[in-house]
Structure 1
């Protein structure tokens, strides 16, 4: 009987120990499962971050390509604008040189050499082209924006210093227009009014002044406006 009791006690002890090992294994499995879940979450975040990095790199590469294309287009546009301005100026000067009422090379030889040509108004971005047209025919370029930013007092001084005036009426103030008109009327200063503030209009204005000077009286003053499709005044109303 005692032997049976001892055997039963041994079995019960082994059962307790086995249960303890099972509980420990279950706890270890639970911890491992938590670690696995954390690793899976981290891996998902890593994959998402890597995808974002790839998208960012793709966008940066595309942006660089677009910037290069944009810079190339800007260079081509600037070259085309320069070529267009030079071609327009060349045609205008050539037309003035071959006019039937003016001797060859009249733009260069009649009245414009070393003259101060004041351009009132015009587009700010075209000032370099305006200057090029004036200097190509031997004149000295001066500019006043027509009262948009420059002072009207400065306009008085600019008019007084100029030998010839080209007034681009489409982009000057009302007061500046009448100031130019009144000044040229009082002083008899050669002046051409053009509506379109373009390089070609400026070149035609120079051509008009040259023709007017070529047809001037011996006293050196024209008899009035010249009918060329551009409003011209030389002391006229």
Structure 2
């Protein structure tokens, strides 16, 4: 993890200003571990972003997923925490709406921090 990612991780919950800025971007997270959602929301908001979550079809209807893309500037999803069908739907919607997406290979918080850092640095393009 980069030094920025380490600093950002350390600032979570400290009330310290984050080391990178999402500049008001809206981040849609699809799937993931239920216990991470509140932490992800707080982290994105601390990094000056807007957080939206869809559970990937576990309890929420997949038909409602498309409605969230109007607000999203980027989409993150942990590949081990959503079905292949849900992954396919997310990728299709990202291409249709020209949204950058990051399929996270790990579902831990460090993976989300690295993806958010990439977005803040402009390394993810639509």
Quickly name the TM-score band, shorter chain normalised.
0.7 to 0.9
User: Could you say what the CA RMSD is over the residues aligned between the two structures, in angstroms?
Assistant: 2.2
Question: What are the residue-to-residue correspondences of 1:128-139 with 2, within 5 Å?
Answer: 128-139=38-49
Partner of 2:13: none
Correspondent of 2:115 among 182, 199, 205? 205
Distance 2:54 2:7 in 1: 23
Q: Which has the higher helix share?
A: 1
Q: Describe the shift of the 1:91–1:200 C-alpha distance in structure 2 as closer, same or farther (beyond 3 A).
A: same
Q: How far 1:177 moved relative to its partner?
A: 0.4
Distance 1:92 1:162 in 2: 26
2:3 is equivalent to residue 93 of structure 1: no
Q: Which runs of 5+ in 1 are unaligned?
A: 1-88, 95-104, 217-221, 223-233
Instruction: Tell me the SS of whatever aligns to 2:23.
Output: coil
Distance 1:115 1:209 in 2: 9
2:102 is equivalent to residue 182 of structure 1: no
Distance 1:167 1:93 in 2: 20
**Alignment TM-score, normalising by the size of structure 2:** 0.79
Q: Which has the higher contact order (CA 8 A, sep 6+)?
A: 2
Question: What are the residue-to-residue correspondences of 1:34-113 with 2, within 5 Å?
Answer: 91=6, 93=8, 105=19, 107-108=20-21, 112-113=22-23
In 2, are the aligned partners of 1:118 and 1:166 still within 8 Å (CA)? yes
Distance 1:204 1:189 in 2: 18
Q: Describe the shift of the 1:92–1:207 C-alpha distance in structure 2 as closer, same or farther (beyond 3 A).
A: farther
Instruction: Tell me the SS of whatever aligns to 1:142.
Output: strand
Answer with 1 or 2: which has the greater Rg. Answer: 1
In 2, are the aligned partners of 1:192 and 1:209 still within 8 Å (CA)? no
**Alignment TM-score, normalising by the size of structure 1:** 0.44
